[in-house]
Structure 1
Amino acid sequence: MPLYFGKHAIIAIDCGMSFPPHNMPGIDTSIPDVDYLIENSDKLKGIVLTHGHEDHIGAIPYIIESLNVPIYGTPLTIALVEKKLNYLNYSEDVLIDIKDVPTYESKEIIFLTTGNHGEPINCLTEIAEGTHDDIKLLPGDTVLFSSIAIHGSENLFSKTMNLLEEQGANIIFQDIHATGHACIDELKLIDHISLKEVLIDGLGIGNIGKNIISDRTKMGKNGVVIIETCFGASSGRLVAPTRITTRGFVNTKLSTDILPGLEDAVKSEIARLIAQGVTGNKFDSLVQKAAEKYIINECDQRPLVIVLTNEIVL
C-alpha cells in the first residue's frame, strides 16, 4: 500500500492482500497494517485502486470500516470490490456440479481454477500434490497457465509445475500469458512508507504473533512432544503417573529407544522440582528444558515440547 503525501493530505494507492509464504503455516493471508492511516485519518482523502487484482484490492473489506474514506477506481475495479461483477458470459448448460464430473469423459471437462502462481493454499497446488478432494489428474491431461512466475513466487511456481509434470500433465504457459499490470512507463514513481502486515488466520485478524508462527513451523518440521502432569491441589503431590505423548516426532522403532529414557529424565526433573517446591510457570519451563536437552542429546532433534500441568481437588 504505497502512500502519496501532500502538504495536508494523504492518498493511499491500492490495498491488497498477499498469500502466505511456506514458512507461515496456518496463515490464510496477510493485509496491510493501517494503524498509521487511522492515526492520520484527518489527512487521508481516499484510496485509489489501480486495477482489480486481489493483491491490489483484496484487503478493502477488512479495512474500510476502520478508515471510512472514498474509494476511487475504474467501473470494473469498483465492481470487483463490491462483488457485483459477472466474470464470464457463458451458457448455463456448460456448467456442471463438480460431483457430476465422473459421469463425463475426461476430454469433455475443463476446470477453471485458482493458484496459477503456485500459492500453497490454492486449488491448482492441491491438484498438483494430488490432495484435492474432487480433481485428480490423469496422464496426458493439459494444464494451461494464464500467468508466469512473479517476483518472489518462482520457487513455488516451479514446484507446482514439476508436480504437474510428474503426474504426466501436458503444461502450456509461455505463449498464452497476458499481463494484468500496466507497463513500467505507464506508472509514475511515488513516495511511500513501509507498513507492517496483518496476518489473517480464519476469523482471527491480527492476533497471530511470531511465537505462534514459530511453534507451527517447529511442529511441522520436528513434531510435538506433550508432557502431562497431574497434582493434587492441596497436597502439591503427583496424583497420577506423568504421561508423555508424541506426534510427528520419531517413528515407532526409534521411539522404543528414546521414550523410556525421556520418561526417566522427565520424572527425575519433576521429582527434583517437587523437592524444591517449584511450581507454576517455572515448573513447566524447567520440565520443558529438561525434556528438550535429553531429546537433543539422544537424537539431535528439536520438536515442540509442551508441558501441561493439571491440578485436581480430591
Structure 2
Amino acid sequence: MSQIKIVPLGGVRENGKSIYVVEVEDEIFVLDCGLKYPENEQLGIDMVIPDFSYLLENKDKIAGIFLSHGHADAIGALPYLLENVSVPVFGTELTTELAKINVREYPNTKDFKEFHVVDEFTEIDFGHAVVSFFSTTHTIPDSIGISIKTKEGNIVYTGDFKFDQSANKPYQTDFSRLAEIGKEGVFALLSDSSNAESSSLIASENQTEEEVYDTIRYWEGRIIVASVASNIRRVQQIFNAAHKSGRQVVLTGKDVEQIVRTAIRLGKLQLPDEDLIITERQMKNKRPEELLILETGRMGEPLQSLQKMASKRHKSISIQEGDLIYITTTPAISVETTVAKTEDMVYRAGGTVKTISDNLYVSGHGNENDLKLMLNLMKPKYFVPVQGEYRLLAAHADLAHEVGMSYQDIFITGRGDILEFEKGRLRMTGSTDADNVLIDGLGVGDIGNIVLRDRKILSEDGIFIAVITINRRAKKIISKPRITSRGFVYVKTSTDLMKESATIVETVVLENLEKADFDWGVLKQEIRDQLSRYLYEQTKRRPVILPVIMESSQKRK
C-alpha cells in the first residue's frame, strides 16, 4: 500500500495563495507557490505568503515545485521558498519566464537558475511517482494542470481553469488528455473552486473580444483601460481593438512592461503593428482619439492607480474631460466599495466609466457546469475542492455530490490539514502549522497580530506621547512632562486636556519615585493606564499611549 499525504498549505478557505503538498512515499511534490494581496485590515502589508514550516522541516524530501500558470496567486511566493530550499522548479515556457522575473528581483534568490520548461507532452519519472501535465484554458497562455501518477491512481491538480469551446490554440483545453487521465483512474482530484457558486453562462473569449472592440471603436476621446497585467488574453484583446480602431497604446507601470515584453518575446502575445506601443513621452504629440492608455497599477491592482489619475496624483497621467475609463477586470465582491468610490472620483474629474461586466459575465474560472464536467471526466475516488473561501469549497463539494460522489469521500480542508492514505482509504489525520506570513517591505514574517492591532488603533485613534525626565536617585522630576499628539486631537484647541494629562503623568511619576521597589516597567504601565482612563472619559477614544521616561543625574536648579 502506498504512503500518500495531501497537505494544503494555502489556497483553501481564502482567495489566492495557492500551494498544495503531495507526498508520495519519501518524495514531496509542491503544486504552485502563490501569494495573496492583503485584506483591508492588514494595514501597511504588501503581500501575504504561505507558512513554509512543513516544507522546511521536510526539505530533503522535496522533489520539485510544479507551477500551473503565471499569475501571482500561483508563483508570487516562489522567491521566499527558494531562499530556504534549493529545489528544481517546473513550469511551461511563459510561466517559467514570469517566475524568473519574480525570483531575480528578490535579492536572496537572484542567482537561482534551476528552472525546467515542461509542456503538455512532458512526463517526469521520480521513481515512486510520474508527473505529467495537461493544457487548460485560463486568462493567461501556457496554463496547465498537473497529474501525479501513483500506484493508487492519479492525483490531479487542475490549477485555474474554465472550459471555452471557442478558445484558440494557446488557450485550448486538451479534452482527450483529460479523458485519458480519467480512464487511467484518479485517486484524488484537487479542483479550482473560485466560481463554484455561479450558474451563469461565462462569455466566451470571442464574445469578450467583440465587446472590447465595440466599446473602444465608438469612443471619440481618449481611452484609459484598467486591466490586470498578467491577464494576457485581455491584453491581447485590447491590443487588437486599439489597432483596428486606429489607436496607439501607452503602457503605464513596471509590471505591465515586464509581463507584456516577456509575452511578446516568447510569441505568447502578438502585436498587430510594430508601432502599436508608444512611450509616455510620445503620447504628448498625439490627439486624444489616437490614444489608448493601458493601466495595470502596482502589483496588478489598477483601481488605486485610477484614483490617483482622478485626483491628479498619478506620476504622469490625469483624467481629463471626455476620457473613457474602461475597467476590463472583474473586481472581487470585497472591493465593490472601492470600485464605487473610484467611479465617483472619475466622474468628478470629467471622465466616464464603463466596465466589461456591464454587458457580459466574464471570468477566468469555470462555472458550475464546467466543474461538474471536470468531475465527470476525472471520476475521482476522493475529491478535495481548493482555491476559494469556505462557502465556495462547500458549494463545490455539493456539486461533486450531485454527480454521484459520497460526502465521506469529499474533504473540505483548512490550511495545514493533513490528508493521509491509511488502512485502505484517505482520511484526515492531523494538521501542521500553516499561518499567514506577512510581507512588509523587506520584512518577512516580522509583523504579527500585535503590530497590526497597533496600526489599526493608530489609524483610528492616533498616538499620545508623554515625555518626562527624572532623577531617580534624588527622587525628583528634572523637566516637566511634555505632551504631544498625532491623529488624536487638535492640540491647539485641547490645552486643558493636555495640561490635565501632564498633571496625571507628573503625579504618577512622583508616586513611583517614592516607592522602595521602583520599577521602570511598572511606572510606564501606570502612566498608560491612568492616561488611557482619563482620555477615554474625556473623548471616548483610545489612542496608542507612548510614555518616554528619560533619566538624568543632573540636579534641578
Is the TM-score greater than 0.5?
A: yes
Q: Which residue of 2 aligns with 1:292?
A: 532
2:458 counterpart of 1:247 = no
More moved, 260-269 vs 194-203: 260-269
More moved, 299-308 vs 252-261: 252-261
- Which amino acid in the other structure matches residue 62 of structure 1? Y
More moved, 270-279 vs 55-64: 270-279
More moved, 151-160 vs 141-150: 151-160
More moved, 284-293 vs 123-132: 123-132
- Cα deviation for residue 34 of structure 1 reads 0.5
2:520 counterpart of 1:280 = yes
Is this contact kept in 1: 2:475–2:514, CA < 8 A? no
Is this contact kept in 1: 2:63–2:88, CA < 8 A? yes
More moved, 206-215 vs 244-253: 244-253
Is this contact kept in 2: 1:17–1:31, CA < 8 A? yes
- Cα deviation for residue 143 of structure 1 reads 1.6
- Which amino acid in the other structure matches residue 146 of structure 1? T
TM-score (norm 1): 0.85
Is this contact kept in 1: 2:94–2:263, CA < 8 A? no
> Any gaps of 5 or more consecutive residues in structure 2?
1-18, 102-257, 265-270, 385-410, 416-433
- Which amino acid in the other structure matches residue 262 of structure 2? N
Q: Which residue of 1 aligns with 2:459?
A: 220
Q: Which residue of 2 aligns with 1:311?
A: 551
Q: Which residue of 2 aligns with 1:138?
A: 320
- Distance (Å, rounded) in 1 between the aligned partners of 2:291 and 2:336: 29
- Cα deviation for residue 68 of structure 1 reads 1.8
2:17 counterpart of 1:3 = no
More moved, 171-180 vs 117-126: 117-126
- Which amino acid in the other structure matches residue 196 of structure 1? D
2:262 counterpart of 1:86 = yes
Change (3 A) 1:232 1:156: same
- Which amino acid in the other structure matches residue 505 of structure 2? V
- Which amino acid in the other structure matches residue 72 of structure 1? F
- Distance (Å, rounded) in 1 between the aligned partners of 2:535 and 2:303: 33
- Which amino acid in the other structure matches residue 520 of structure 2? G
Q: Which residue of 2 aligns with 1:49?
A: 67
Q: Which residue of 2 aligns with 1:16?
A: 34
Q: Counterparts of 1:1-314 in structure 2 under 5 Å?
A: 1-83=19-101, 86-88=262-264, 89=271, 91=274, 94-97=277-280, 106-115=288-297, 122-127=304-309, 131-150=313-332, 152-173=334-355, 174=357, 175=359, 179-181=363-365, 184=371, 185-186=373-374, 189-190=383-384, 194=415, 195-232=434-471, 234-252=473-491, 254-277=493-516, 278-314=518-554
- Distance (Å, rounded) in 1 between the aligned partners of 2:475 and 2:286: 67
Change (3 A) 1:135 1:220: farther
Is this contact kept in 2: 1:145–1:177, CA < 8 A? no
Is this contact kept in 2: 1:117–1:157, CA < 8 A? no
- Distance (Å, rounded) in 1 between the aligned partners of 2:552 and 2:284: 55
Is this contact kept in 2: 1:52–1:76, CA < 8 A? yes
Please state which structure has a larger fraction of its residues in strand: 2
Is this contact kept in 2: 1:215–1:304, CA < 8 A? yes
Deviation string 1:264-305 (CA, Å, 9 cap, x unpaired) is 222222222222253312111110111111100011011111
DSSP-derived class of the 1:245 partner: strand
- Distance (Å, rounded) in 2 between the aligned partners of 1:117 and 1:28: 9
More moved, 266-275 vs 70-79: 266-275
More moved, 117-126 vs 260-269: 117-126
Is this contact kept in 2: 1:117–1:150, CA < 8 A? no
- Over the matched positions of the two proteins, sequence identity in percent amounts to 28
- Cα deviation for residue 60 of structure 1 reads 0.8
Change (3 A) 1:155 1:93: closer
Higher-Rg structure is: 2
- Distance (Å, rounded) in 1 between the aligned partners of 2:513 and 2:536: 24
- Cα deviation for residue 248 of structure 1 reads 1.0
> Any gaps of 5 or more consecutive residues in structure 1?
none
- Distance (Å, rounded) in 2 between the aligned partners of 1:260 and 1:120: 47
- Cα deviation for residue 105 of structure 1 reads 5.2
- Distance (Å, rounded) in 2 between the aligned partners of 1:161 and 1:37: 44
- Distance (Å, rounded) in 1 between the aligned partners of 2:276 and 2:460: 47
TM-score (norm 2): 0.50
- Cα deviation for residue 47 of structure 1 reads 1.9
- Which amino acid in the other structure matches residue 34 of structure 1? F
DSSP-derived class of the 2:295 partner: coil
